[in-house]
Structure 1
Amino acid sequence: MSLLTFREATLPNGLRVIAEINPEAKSTALGYFVRTGSRDELAGEEGVSHFLEHMVFKGTERRSAWDVNREFDEMGAKYNAFTNEELTVFYGAVLPEFAPRLLDLLSDLMRPALREEEFETERKVILEEIALYRDRPHFVLYERAQEAYFGRHPLAKPVLGTTESIEAMTRAQMAAYHARRYVPNNMTLAFAGNLDWDEMLALAERMTRGWTQGPAPRNHPGFAPEPRRLRTPYDKASQAYAAFMAPGHAAAAEERYAARVLADVLGDPDNGRLFWRLVDPGLAETAMAYHHEFEELGVYLVYAQGDPAHEEEVSERIREELVRLEKGGVDGEELERAKLKTATSLVFAGETSLSRLFYLGLGYSYTGRYEALDTVRRWVMHLEPYHLNELLEARPFSRALEYWLVPADHG
């Protein structure tokens, strides 16, 4: 019998608080999931979401940057943050007795001081990070392919921003963005592990009492992919890198788990169809596929990397496999293998309070409901070939963007 209990509440200021409680857990994890990312940035703000993520740890009116680091260390906390197109997440995990202190610290950090001197110092860090990623062709490939695939849609915006946008950014712009997006009704506070729900809820209400609600709209324009092939020489590339992007299913869609399994059938890095067509015969070093969900849409992404001399054959074989998958569907044997891998990953996601926090907070941020890992695992294991083949009836891969990043001397 499962000891897990799910609780949820909405505070008077609009902050949603959720918890998956396990009294036998040896740790407590908690985090703020802010519904904001690069897609929510206005013109001239490109990269502010990620820049602000860094600035949050630089101190508040109550704490200096040194105080913040010291307190995390005194709790023995495992902590960090990340930003993507749609969410910015701040999290930590501690022994249960430190949970109230960690909640106080993270709650305070949600109202950063944004000191000018720290702003200028961190600007240099962000610019160095952008330069570092320019030396990683697979990152450049994904960023450019995403920009080409989404076009005028807000999801085309780069998470890090650009050198130009970061150099031009002001503290006033960041403060305005924070005031606009970090409102409590646009955030979820999530807990996982060993905790006292009533205590944590009361503390959260007291610590966030001064936060005021505000509108935090998100633009949802229409989107229609434009299938085409693009090819760009890049002076930092020594191999050829390929990305195929095709329409998938949204983060709250019922089809999303079947779509993830379908992506594994096609591109599991160790045993998917693309492995046997490309990696096993030595045409590519890596070939994989996965399904990524956003708020109103999803994307299948196929990735391959290898010797530029094999570019055309790799391209042809990937397209052949996509056509074969759409026309022939999925058979029972390969489905069983893919289901088991997906189910195993779900089990791994439940092994620590911190990993359960991510699953809980990310899922709830998109769907507004709780889906227990065990329930999802059982649902995945009951998938039949027709569930996946129904997804293929829309012929998603026939609408794929094919993007190649190749060495400059192969342009």
Structure 2
Amino acid sequence: MRGIQSLHRLSKRCYAAARRSEALTEPYASHKTAPTAPLTAQDVQVSKLPNGLVIASLENYSPLSTVGVFVKAGSRYEPAENQGVSHILRLAANLTTKGASAFKICRGMEAVGGSLSVTSSRETIVYSVDCLRNHLDTVLEFLVNVTTAQEFRPWEVAELTSRVKIDKALAQQCPQIGVIEKLHEAAYKNALSNSLYCPDYMVGHVSPEQLQSFVENNFSSGRMALVGVGVKHSTLRQLGEGQLSVRRGAGTPTAKAVYRGGELRMQNSDSLVHTLVTCEGGMTGTTEANAFSVLQRILGAGPHVKRGSNITSKLSQGIAKATTQPFDAISFNTTYSDSGLFGVYTISQADSAGEVIKAAIAQVTGVAEGNLSEADVSRAKNQIKAEYLMSMESSEGLMEEMGAQALATGTYQAPETFLQSIDTLTHADLVKAAKKFVDGKRSMAASGQLINTPFLDEL
């Protein structure tokens, strides 16, 4: 404290002693900045390395860099004896690797202000990092470690059991998740029927050897895509040719999903009945999938104003005429690389479940019969195009779209291509999609007090 107090005894006059005879604004008036080259906008660059790894990047000169590794290792690739391994693998992303301990990964990411996150779906696991551009080398080292140098230590894997139970408990508290999971189980014979969550009989029984086997079979360069936003393409290419080429090849062949149709009902004491009725939809990137996406907006995909009512929804309009009890209804649509699901999701009181479900299906039947105006089609097209463009305004959304395309096709199509594909859809395409729901083989999942909920063959 004595040294700090002595600073106050310095004369304030010494700060300006060297500038007594000169104006303070003089240096700024005479200073000339060095000319800099203007930054030119760049397009997304995509390349495929000889080892099979696809690299996609967009240099937007942002001070923040976002890099992700997309892997075809979702729950659909789990063998029968390894059910739930992808769930455990997602939670194990921050465990000790061959090149860094769990503490080093956590401390190192915090030291540079970065973040590491892992998300999974039925088809992919995505490891993504965010950091300031000048710390990219440090963060990429950790990204490589968690994707190519996994080391599943038994005591660390055992400690994941409590986190798995918490995940499952939170999922069970959400009826929507339960209905969607049961729908996939009823709709498919294999692959896509696998749940995103570890089944009860496997909780605490997934061994380090099973995790390592799954990684070796699926985390190969031919099943991965390296994607970056705010980073040079040459940087990612150098990373892909070096550290990410540990496992070469296409990995284990994937089984094609087989749609079968079916019904699963979960009777419980909930006063609200959640019901999901679907048919097989379109594969990702096809004209049929685009038609189902537009049809989803026509029927109603949820309110577009916070806490607002979906007044343009055909489902809401139709069901309101059939019952006076409260309800909620949206159109459901999801796509995969080799299949998809499209249908209607309803939430209602147990007494009025039958009326609500039948009224919702009647609205799809009406579209299949041609009760569809050009104004409805135009509005739905505008909605889906606006949603698509707004989803790509953030670095995370843009990277997700780039990664999905790079992993599926090895290329990238500009947003204009998607917008044109939506514009080319005709009235007949949408009617055809609705007819597939009406005439096709359906699947159904329901949860709640199902005494007044009709069975699938009664719809």
Q: TM-score, length-normalised on structure 1?
A: 0.90
The structure-2 alpha-carbon separation of the partners of 1:114 and 1:263, relative to structure 1 and needing over 3 Å to count, comes to same
Aligned to 2:168: 130
Deviates more, 1:117-126 or 1:55-64: 55-64
The yes-or-no answer on 1:13 pairing with 2:51 is yes
Q: Number of aligned residue pairs: give it.
A: 404
Cα deviation digits, residues 2-42 of structure 1 (max 9, x gap): 9341222233432221123324x443221111111111111
Q: How does 1:4-403 map to 2 (within 5 A)?
A: 4-23=42-61, 25-110=62-147, 111-150=149-188, 152-192=189-229, 194-213=230-249, 215-220=251-256, 222-226=258-262, 231-235=265-269, 237-269=270-302, 270=310, 271-278=312-319, 283-328=325-370, 330-395=372-437, 398-403=440-445
Q: Is the 8 A contact 1:84 1:159 kept in 2?
A: yes
Q: Which runs of 5+ in 1 are unaligned?
A: none
**Structure 2 vs 1, CA of residues 308 and 394 (structure 1 numbering), >3 Å: closer, same or farther?**
closer
Aligned to 1:337, the other structure's residue is in SS state helix
Percentage of matched positions with identical amino acids: 19
Deviates more, 1:28-37 or 1:381-390: 381-390
Instruction: Name the aligned partner's letter for residue 447 of structure 2.
Output: L
Equivalent residues of 1:92, 1:354 under 8 A apart: no
Partner Cα distance (2:109, 2:288) in 1: 40
Counterpart CA distance in 1 for 2:258 and 2:387 is: 33
Letter in 1 for 2:267: P
CA distance in 1, matches of 2:82, 2:320: 41
Shift in Å at residue 65 of structure 1? 1.4
Distance 1:27 1:393, change over 3 A: same
Secondary structure of the corresponding residue to residue 287 of structure 2: coil
2:9 aligned partner: none
Residues 402 and 101 (structure 1), Cα distance of their counterparts in 2 relative to 1, 3 Å cut? same
Report the RMSD for the aligned CA atoms in angstroms. Answer: 2.4
Three-state SS of the structure 1 residue aligned to 2:82 is: coil
TM-score by structure 2 length?
Answer: 0.81
Higher mean Cα deviation, 102-111 or 215-224? Answer: 215-224
Farther-moved stretch of structure 1 (270-279 vs 27-36): 270-279
1:364 Cα deviation (Å)? Answer: 2.4
Q: Distance in 2 between matches of 1:404 and 1:394?
A: 21
| Range with greater deviation from structure 2 (276-285 or 26-35) | 276-285
Which whole-Å CA distance do the structure 1 matches of 2:130 and 2:319 have between them?
41
> Given that residues 279 and 287 in structure 1 are in contact (C-alpha distance below 8 angstroms), is that contact kept between their aligned partners in structure 2?
no
